[in-house]
Structure 1
């Protein structure tokens, strides 16, 4: 199927090495891409370790964290092409399903099918800093912008807030009973939380940070995003859009009004199989997606067109990471 190519011209800043774009696949490879040419600039084989589940780029663009089966591999982004992992974190007993960095890159958090959430200290030789027992397989974890809390969702249908200073779970939500919650996204300003379950339904909460007479999480709306399995959702950095990925091969873009009304803006069509992951550019103008059709795509939000397609993986591309902001 031919790929549509947008007439949009990349801004000068996007043409240099300040754009870090990475994909991971069930073919046991991690690939770095030149975002605008579509050329693969580096391949990291992970054959001995297994499938690559999730990827995260450190805020300073120095490190790539890869969740590969039960372990976390840390790679130096600027290292030579043949360089292996600079560190390996071990401790999970099941597939690692989520991974994200602290805003200053001092630590990272992982969630796993083994029912635990772990915090890893990048400055310590022992690495494992903290362990939370979630009692059910964890599907997603995000770090609150205040860097003092985590929010997770799990296979038991729960959303939990974890206080890092008190080392406890302080809030729990069960919006759809025991229907597994697949993905969560927190607004960059901490104003709202969106969660999606395996049945394609999305739930939205306004987060109250100031008034003690109001609940911390105020439910504001819910809507059916897809009629098939929802794999990932993500709020744009400017909190004006929500992207939802699905087994129906599409990515849907929802516009968000100031009073949290979600309106279907456009449907990104082109992938041939499940869409597993997505990542926004820093200015919210572009979106990268990864799919079971072995490809990743770069979409222009304004037109909804594919700007570039990344070919090279031999099996499903299930995760991607993009960092084109200030390092």
Structure 2
């Protein structure tokens, strides 16, 4: 296979295919057929060697640098749609969240299956790993946000910003100082994370944003911005200094977002650069 590009852009959908794109030209250079189910979520390992695809009810791990269409590993302990997947910073383990109401941890260094399982008691829509690498934060269909302490192996904090309003997306600032939750009513809740004894256990409310007229599909923080994407056909950029609205981007169809947390502030409308129906935006400070 040709040399791996510096930027890896992968997309997947209900068409049962995973596609890899050249970010600058918009050319699709590889397609992996995924006949088992739709793909709900993609995540690339920190070393850029593997791609995790979350489906129903499994997770498949593919070699990015191989031409083989077959996964190198499969993870099959979930019993319903897998809605969240991600990796520990060193790539030693993977986490996932599912509509079966569980959050799971998988040891990638061992051939076995699920290492740990946490019961959320409702369909899990989103899971993020705190930068301290010792806590997972999950959001579920009943509106619960839970912090899972991996050291204590228990739930250390639980809150409900809106009763019976599904939490669709969570994002944590790179330094662990802020967390944002987005829900089905188009609302974003912003908290400062308070730490005691080097652990994050308390949420201090900072802002409540009525960000969109439709349900929010994705929210994501960078050091300077919060990006939100909604079923109302808009993507909005908020300055994290006061969470004031910087820009509204109107599109012709619902979308998700990808947002670089540490590099240049580029907002991507699900696909990047000249892909069908999509286009790139450069977001600049006023």
Matched, 1:195 2:184: no
Aligned match for 1:33, one of 6, 13, 21: 21
TM-score by length of structure 1 reads 0.81
TM-score by length of structure 2 reads 0.92
Matched, 1:101 2:87: yes
Instruction: Please identify, of 141-150 and 277-286, the stretch whose mean Cα deviation from structure 2 is larger.
Output: 277-286
Q: Deviation string for 1:265-320 (max 9, x for gaps)?
A: 011223x21113433264142122228x975543222399xxxxxxxxxxxxxxxx
C-alpha displacement of 1:215:
7.0
| 1:75/1:206 CA distance change after superposition, 3 Å | same
C-alpha displacement of 1:155:
0.6
Q: Deviation string for 1:72-112 (max 9, x for gaps)?
A: 000111112x4310001001111011111110011111100
Task: Confirm or deny: 8 A CA contact 2:220 2:226 kept in the other structure.
Answer: yes
Matched, 1:266 2:247: yes
TM alignment of 1:67-216, pairs within 5 A = 67-80=54-67, 82-210=68-196, 216=202
Matched, 1:302 2:267: no
Task: Confirm or deny: 8 A CA contact 2:257 2:267 kept in the other structure.
Answer: no
| 1:215/1:133 CA distance change after superposition, 3 Å | closer
Task: Confirm or deny: 8 A CA contact 2:104 2:116 kept in the other structure.
Answer: yes
How many residue pairs match? The answer is: 279
Contiguous gaps of at least 5 residues in structure 2: none
Matched, 1:243 2:230: no
Q: Deviation string for 1:29-66 (max 9, x for gaps)?
A: 1110000010001111002x110100001111111011
Structure ranking higher on relative contact order (CA contacts 8 Å, 6+ apart): 1
Partner of 1:13: none
